[in-house]
Structure formats: C-alpha cells, structure tokens
Structure 1
Amino acid sequence: MRRLLGLVLGGTLALTGHATAADPSFWKNEWPATDFSQTSLDSWAEVISGGPGKDGIPALSDPSFLPVAEGRGIDAREPVITVDLDGEAPRAYPIRYLTWHEIVNDRIGDVPVAVTFCPLCNSALTFDRRVAGQELTFGVSGKLRNSDMIMYDRETQSWWQQAIGTGIVGEMTGKTLTSLPSWMESYDDFTARSPDGLVMAEPAWNRAYGRNPYRGYDSSHRPFLYSGEMPPHGIAPLVRVVRVGDRAWPLARLAEAKELREDGVVLSWRAGQASALDSDFIRDGRDVGSVRVRDADGKDLPHDVMFAFAFHAFWPDGIWMLD
C-alpha cells in the first residue's frame, strides 16, 4: 500500500504505524485523569498510536459560519457533512476542514453536537454531546482502534470509539452517544437544496485546507494501521458500504440501482461528490456520489458511509445486504 503522509502538525509527519506500548501505566503520563480501571476492551493491545499525540490533531469548538451565498473557496464537488435539525438553518461542515481537525464541537439551537470524521475509516458521524445529563466536549486522543479514531471528552478524560459512539475507557465506559441524522454530500447539492443554509467558515489554523494528506488511500488493497480480520463474501476492505444500524449495503450496489427500499429503509444515491481520500486535492477526487437514508415516511436516519473493513471490525456479526 502506498505510504500515507499526514500533514497534521503543520509539517510533514510520516504515519509509520508503530504502536505505542499498550500499557495504561505508560499512558498515565499523558492521561493522568483517565480512569484506566474501567474499560470494555478485551486487550490493551487493541489500542495503538496513530502518530500525533493527544490534541496533536486539534478538534474545533464553536466554529463560525457564513451564509452559503458568501462561501468562498469550496469546490462544487467537495464533500460536506450536512446537519439539518428541525427549526434550524441547515449547516454544512466541509471535509476540507474536518480532514485536519476530525471533530467539531458545535451548538445548533439548543442541541450541542459533535460533528466527526475519521479519514482512515471514511466514517462521518454526528452526535448529541449530552450524556446522562452532562454536556461533553470532545478532542482527538491520537489513538486508534481498528484504524478508527478514539475520541476523548475533556470533562472526564474518558475515551470514546468514534465509529460506534461508545465509551471504551474511563468513567464513561459503556455509555453511548445519541447519533443524529447527518449525511455527506457535495457542496453543490447542499447549496442547491439549502440556499438559506450556513457553511462553516475556514478555521484560523495554519493547515493546507483542500489538500488530501491521504492520497490514494481509498484505492489501496489494505487498510492502514489495521491488523484485524478482513470482510467476508470476498468484499474488498476499502470499498464503501452504507451502514444503517448493524446492516451494510455495498455502495456499488446502491450506485447501480440509484434507490433501494429494503427492511423499512430507503437508500438513494446520486452522482457528483468527490472522494476526500483520492487525489492530492479533494476537489479532484473521483466521483463516489452522495447517499441519503430515510425511513418509509421520508425522515432522515442516522447512518454512515464507511469502509467495509471497519464495518466488519465493529459489527463482526453484522448483516451484509448483498444482491
């Protein structure tokens, strides 16, 4: 597989994949307030370093927004994460920013949200930041499990698995974040449907926004920083699947059909969204299309468009919705 370069610290950082010692006594130096006596992990060896340390990839909080009419510099094909909550203006969070920050802590009306993107799994999920009556603020731990980002909350220093929204280490072990409906689509689709919507403004960080530090990743034969079991049914590990609950539809099947109605779920696909993990510049990525997932009444449902290996890693008994 092609060597991946991450420009996550403003310079060039080679993501070598060397694991930090899987030992809480070692991690205590960096995480003195984390309660390592509480964990759902079978083995500490499941956790490895992704390269940067704690907050080496800086999460964002309270971002600024612009009306879409004033948005500049975002190509029509570039992917954004759309969050459209009842009674509020739809918001677009460009992947050109989330590639470098991975988490945005925001508030939409009265709802505190965490908009997240893990490039190594192509997992884009939005969560309600309230857990058991407490509002949390999330950061990037620098740790990975099954190649997926481990988040942490600043209030309890607990670790959270991004792909499943569940606490895995610390006081919040076993707690689950509420997933909110959101989806990835092209910026052109967002602006056409939401002319009165808002787009997140460029953060005030020195980052190469619009560049893809994971060039060619979604054309690789094997996932990066992953040693787990590969998907069944001859499915390539880095093809995209649409996950709804514990079910996964291969994106290629949906793209061919354009719409699928199965198990009470309506999935639709349309062309026009660039892959964020293909070319040097996100705007030049090949077309992977945009997905919407709704119930039979047309209500948007929480879902993820992730790589097949990640679905199998976190849902080993999951259902594959094949032809």
Structure 2
Amino acid sequence: MNRRATLRVLGAAIGSLAGCTASNVRPPVANQPAPGNPDPIVGAGFPTTVCNAPANPDIGSKAIVTPAAGPNWDGLTVDERYRLRGEGEAKLTDETFVIGVERNGTARAYPVSILWWHQIVNDTLDGDPLIVTYCPLCQTGMVARRIVSGNPTTFRNTGQFWRPPDLYVGASLQEGRAFAASPYVDDAEVIFDGNLVLMDDLTGSYWSQVLARGICGRRAGTRLWTLTPDVMTWGEWRTANTNTDVLLPPPLSRTG
C-alpha cells in the first residue's frame, strides 16, 4: 500500500485504545430491532451491549448508496462541508487525499473529504460490489466486497460505536484488513476512541469496520473479503492511474 502520509499505525492502535464513553451509545429508532447473537469477542470489547442496541441510521452519517463518478470536480458546486481545513472553498485539488481502488484495470478514487462525512460508500467497480469505508473518529479505512451470505448487499451506518479488543485491532491493521488514513498530510494515525459499526441490509447483522468482521446477528464471527487500496493524493493517484475517475460529492452521489 502506497501511503504518502506517515502511518504510525500498530503502536498507536494498541497503545491508545481509549474506548467508547456512554455518549457513544446512541438512542434507538422505532422499527430498527437489535440483532442480538453477539460474537464471543464482543464481551472483550466495549460496550458489551452493542448487539442489544437497535440500529439508528438516522442519527449517524448517511451512507452513499448510489455513487456517481466523473473525471474530476471541475465546474461542480460543492457543499462547504467537503471543504478541507485551510482551503477557501470545497474542491478537488492535486493535494486532496484519496483512497484509490483498482479492479482489473478499472480505477476509482474516493476523496477522504467525502468519506469523512458519509463513512460508507456502496459501489460496484468492474462488476465487483464493494464498500469503501472510513471511520473519522479513529481514522481507519477498510475496503471490502459487499457480499454477505453469497449475495451483494448494501451497508449502512448503525449510529453505534464499538471498541474491539486491542489484539484484534492490531492483527487487523498488521494483516492489512484495515489501514490508517486522513485528509491531512502526516495526520494518518489511528486515534482509537471507538469504531464505526456497519449494518448490512440483507441480514441486519452488525459489522466492526476496523475488523471487517460480523459481531452481531446472523453473520457474527464471519469476515468480509477485504482489498488493499492505495492512500495518496489525487495528483499522485491520477498520475499512476491515467484512466481513473473519482467519486462525485452528494447530491450527485445519492445517500440513503
């Protein structure tokens, strides 16, 4: 994985797992049942009650469910939320950090400035259904096939956070299932105060983003098939992948 940003990953992940606080446990929404059936590792993380907490996607960031892509952002009116620190306007520049994915010659860049707000992008690249995810709370990324029980599905934000056991996080980072990323140079360090919990539409199971693993529900204990992306600037990615396109910000990419 090519990462221009400094990745002080493993030591930071194991040494600074501060854990979730009570404020991380979000209130439920009607008609969103909790999945139950916790994986055994849930009891070693925090909170141990995450599988009993109903999903609350309306309180978290909305996942991108219908992405749009183009050669660049030229001529677009972009919401100010996608403006990075120190920039006068929201735009895509050669210095914008992206998560780059390539499948059989088809390349796409996902700006971290979009992922910071939406955290999950459900996409299809060269016919392969993928999720590109980012947890801004802890600066971890994970890219995987969005296949559950042999079928493509859509992933969404549960509105919950869960801190996995330290050794599992260290192993996931070391084995490349997850990685550190940041919108800013030299900031790509895992800052672990809690981790994004995903939910798939097919089974309603909960998934740990940093572990790429089911932690609650029917798919508890199973892993997603992860990919190894590149984390670099848009200028670097475009130079290395001349045929690339890039994710366009909402409302061109639709959330849900």
TM above 0.5, yes or no, is: yes
Alignment partner for residue 200 of structure 1, among 244, 247, 253? 247
Q: Is the 8 A contact 2:200 2:206 kept in 1?
A: yes
Q: Give distance in 2, aligned partners of 1:144 and 1:182.
A: 24
Amino acid at match of 1:84: E
Q: Give distance in 1, aligned partners of 2:68 and 2:231.
A: 20
Give the deviation of 1:136 after TM superposition: 1.9
Amino acid at match of 2:251: A
Q: Deviations over 1:200-245 (max 9, x none)?
A: 111118xxxxxxxxxxxxxxxxxxxxxxxxxxxxxxxxxxxxxxxx
Q: For residue 212 of structure 2, what is the aligned residue in structure 1?
A: 165
What are the ranges of 5 or more consecutive residues in structure 1 without an aligned counterpart? 1-15, 206-323
Give the deviation of 1:61 after TM superposition: 1.4
Taking structure 1 as reference, are residues 131 and 53 closer, same or farther at Cα in structure 2, changes over 3 Å only?
Answer: closer
Taking structure 1 as reference, are residues 197 and 61 closer, same or farther at Cα in structure 2, changes over 3 Å only?
Answer: same
Taking structure 1 as reference, are residues 129 and 81 closer, same or farther at Cα in structure 2, changes over 3 Å only?
Answer: same
Amino acid at match of 1:108: L
Q: For residue 148 of structure 1, what is the aligned residue in structure 2?
A: 195
Q: For residue 230 of structure 2, what is the aligned residue in structure 1?
A: 183
Q: For residue 128 of structure 1, what is the aligned residue in structure 2?
A: 145
**How well do the aligned residues superpose, as a CA RMSD in angstroms?**
2.8
Q: For residue 137 of structure 1, what is the aligned residue in structure 2?
A: 154
TM-score (norm. length: structure 2): 0.63
Does 1:97 find its partner at 2:105?
A: no
Q: For residue 77 of structure 1, what is the aligned residue in structure 2?
A: 95
Give the deviation of 1:19 after TM superposition: 4.5
Q: Is the 8 A contact 1:69 1:195 kept in 2?
A: no
Q: Give distance in 2, aligned partners of 1:177 and 1:183.
A: 19
Taking structure 1 as reference, are residues 27 and 123 closer, same or farther at Cα in structure 2, changes over 3 Å only?
Answer: same
Q: Give distance in 1, aligned partners of 2:43 and 2:159.
A: 20
Higher RCO (CA 8 Å, separation ≥ 6 residues): 2
TM-score (norm. length: structure 1): 0.51
Does 1:87 find its partner at 2:105?
A: yes
Q: Is the 8 A contact 2:94 2:233 kept in 1?
A: yes
SS of corresponding position for 2:47 = helix
Q: Give distance in 1, aligned partners of 2:154 and 2:73.
A: 30
Q: Give distance in 1, aligned partners of 2:115 and 2:23.
A: 24
Q: Give distance in 2, aligned partners of 1:195 and 1:99.
A: 25
SS of corresponding position for 1:84 = strand
Q: Is the 8 A contact 1:68 1:195 kept in 2?
A: no
Give the deviation of 1:133 after TM superposition: 1.0
Q: Which has the larger radius of gyration?
A: 1
What are the ranges of 5 or more consecutive residues in structure 2 without an aligned counterpart? 1-20, 77-90, 164-193
